[in-house]
Amino acid sequence: MGNVNPTLFRSGPELLHNPLLNKGTAFSLEERDALSLRGLLPPRVITMQEQVQRVLENLRGKPNDLDKYVSLIALQDRNETLFYRIILDHLDEMMPIIYTPTVGLACQEYGQIFRRPRGIFISSNDAGRVARNLANWPLKDVRVIVVTDGERILGLGDLGANGMGIPVGKLSLYTACAGIHPSACLPITIDVGTENERLLKHPLYIGLQQRRLRGEAYDALIAEFVEAVQSLFPDALIQFEDFANHNAFRILNKYRNSVRTFNDDIQGTAAVAMAGIYSSLRITGRALADQRLLFFGAGEAGMGIAGLVVSALMEAGLTADEARKRCWFIDSKGLVVQSRTDLTDHKRTFAQDAAQNSDPLEVLDALRPTVLIGASGMPGTFTAPILRKMADINERPVVFALSNPTSKSECTAEEAYTHTNGRAVFASGSPYKPVNFEGKTFVPGQGNNAYIFPGVGLGVIASGSRLVTDEMFLSAAKVLASALSESELATGRIYPPFTRVREVSTAIALVVAGIAYDQGLAAGPRPADLEAAVRNLMFEPVYNSYV
Ligand code: NAI
């Protein structure tokens, strides 16, 4: 991988229309002569820096974030090098546009803003010939696939084929945050229908206007997809993204021990939240073994986090049973307890021996949690009384409102700081601006999975690891938490500034690849200089000279 081999390019309009190779007005006069580009471009040669300025001016003049998204995706379709230069140099400004929260809006409007396809669509009508769809992808050295079936897009629910914005966005993050080459990334949407009434009737909906395929036929389609990927793209890592809870756990459990795959909503979220917990302990000065966690939401995110918390607590000396007793859940029906008869197997693992209770304040009184984690998709569930009680119980209450996008957050950053008198250690799923409370500025953390999955992916690719293990995610969490300086912690930050994400991803990749080599999961022998091998894979958005 690394940067594109310039000997592969073609010439003339074909080159201008290949986003991986196109430089637009930055082609030099020599290149224009050699590549039959004379006359196809305006005469003046523009530098990349000038192109960046032009794009930024255009972008900043757009009236809203959705227009900015459309404009950025159009740039990605024209010139990926320039697109990634801009993303990388302006990460804080661009992340909320290419990913949450704007990508959520983009998915909701996907039919209307749809310009040009990107990635592969597989529909339930393709059953029996999925490999043919995949074989149509022109680039053969695929290393990362992000796939969704669109059933649980962020916290927005079933968006069917419109969910394609998510794999596209996540793969942009692989490239921006960990330097996975854009030509090695393949976004895929498996369209099995939708239960979204609006889309079922919408004249511009891009997907199948039918109810979702379920049961054996659905499982067979996923199995066919996984097999086809393994035969056509044997080096690819498959990241499952935004599948609904009932399919996500089943698919993960079916494939995690035999296929190079993971589920970001379960395992990526778990690692980023675990990193937040490790960092918060650096602030509160408490031990992991003393924590009690209360989750609002017992779905993919909540259960995934709790699973990793259990592993971390066991590492800290607790038994599995003791560790599980530290993780309590409230779901849409109240406290998850053993007497309930409506629990899935996953929820049953964490069902506690306690009386049923659906009053969160009473639960807080009884449990006295040190950490409150929101992964319910229900905005406003962390009410002022709940936050105040957390502050009564704890000197430094740890509060993570992880639901995405911003409109679904369990509380805002301002509410978290205000109702706890500025004592909360706070993180959210979508970004919040720094909050000024009684003269002090607090920097809320964004528990963004993009701190984790790109680095994990890079480590898996670098080592050729056969599997992606929970140990890799726990180690990634530790690397992320250790990346914070003391002065950053002092501002309330529990994640490093996102501008340092490439450095963090590289460190995560090294640890992940190291685990693969140590455990016999890697494809070959450990290179003498693993760091150089990892860095060598990383794409830098610069223009290569073609002459
Ligand atoms: P899910 O659908 O699997 O689970 C949602 C859970 O919330 C269910 O257990 C449901 O019973 C529960 N719930 C519903 N109403 C509730 C209420 N009023 N009080 C308490 N619990 C309630 O969804 P999933 O995948 O777990 O995602 C949940 C949220 O977490 C979404 O908004 C998603 O965007 C967000 N998320 C955030 C991430 C991050 O910040 N890094 C990563 C992954 C997910």
Q: Residue 304's CB: how many other CB atoms inside 10 A?
A: 28
Contact 368, 390 (CB under 8 A): no
Contact 527, 14 (CB under 8 A): no
Task: Name the band, by pLDDT with cuts 50, 70 and 90, for residue 7.
Answer: very low
Task: Identify the residues whose C-beta falls under 6 Å from ligand 1.
Answer: 152, 154-155, 245, 265, 269, 272, 296-302, 330-332, 375-378, 381, 402-404, 408, 429, 447, 449
- Nearest 5°: the CA angle 463, 468, 471 is 100
**Over residues 188-201, mean pLDDT:** 98
DSSP H or E run through 264: none
d(CA 453, CA 239): 9
Provide CB contacts within 8 A for 455, sequence distance 6+.
177, 178, 476, 479, 504, 505, 506, 507, 508, 509, 512
Reply yes or no on whether the pLDDT at 6 is more than 70. no
- Ligand 1 centre and the CA of 468: distance in Å? 24
**Over residues 151-159, mean pLDDT:** 93
- Kindly name the residue from 23, 69, 84, 170 that is annotated as catalytic: 170
Contact 261, 372 (CB under 8 A): no
Residue 167, pLDDT score: 97
Q: Quote the DSSP letter at residue 543.
A: P
- Catalytic (active site) residue 99: yes
- Ligand 1 centre and the CA of 449: distance in Å? 15
- Ligand 1 centre and the CA of 53: distance in Å? 40
Which residue did the predictor score with more confidence, 505 or 490?
Answer: 505
Reply yes or no on whether the pLDDT at 37 is more than 70. yes
- Mean of the per-residue pLDDT values for the chain? 95
**Over residues 68-86, mean pLDDT:** 97
Whole-Å CA distances, 51 to 47, 48, 93, 471: 6, 5, 17, 43
Residue 13, pLDDT score: 87
Q: Quote the DSSP letter at residue 126.
A: G
d(CA 495, CA 454): 16
| pTM score, whole prediction | 0.95
Query: What phi-psi label fits residue 475: left (phi over 0), alpha (psi between -120 and 50 degrees) or beta?
Result: alpha
To test the ligand 1 pocket, which listed residue (332, 336, 448) has its Cβ within 8 A of the most ligand atoms?
332
| Mean pLDDT lowest among 6-15, 155-164, 197-206, 211-220 | 6-15
Residue 296, pLDDT score: 98
**The three-state (H, E, C) secondary structure of 286-332, written as one string:** CCHHHCCEEEECCCHHHHHHHHHHHHHHHHCCCCHHHHHCCEEEEEC
Reply yes or no on whether the pLDDT at 379 is more than 50. yes
- In this structure, which residue's CA is closest to atom 4 in ligand 1? 299
As beta bridge partners, residue 327 has 293
- Kindly name the residue from 99, 205, 255, 495 that is annotated as catalytic: 99
Contact 444, 432 (CB under 8 A): yes
- Ligand 1 centre and the CA of 123: distance in Å? 27
Task: Name the band, by pLDDT with cuts 50, 70 and 90, for residue 1.
Answer: low
Burial of 462 (0-12, 13-18, 19+ CB in 10 A): buried
Task: Name the band, by pLDDT with cuts 50, 70 and 90, for residue 372.
Answer: very high
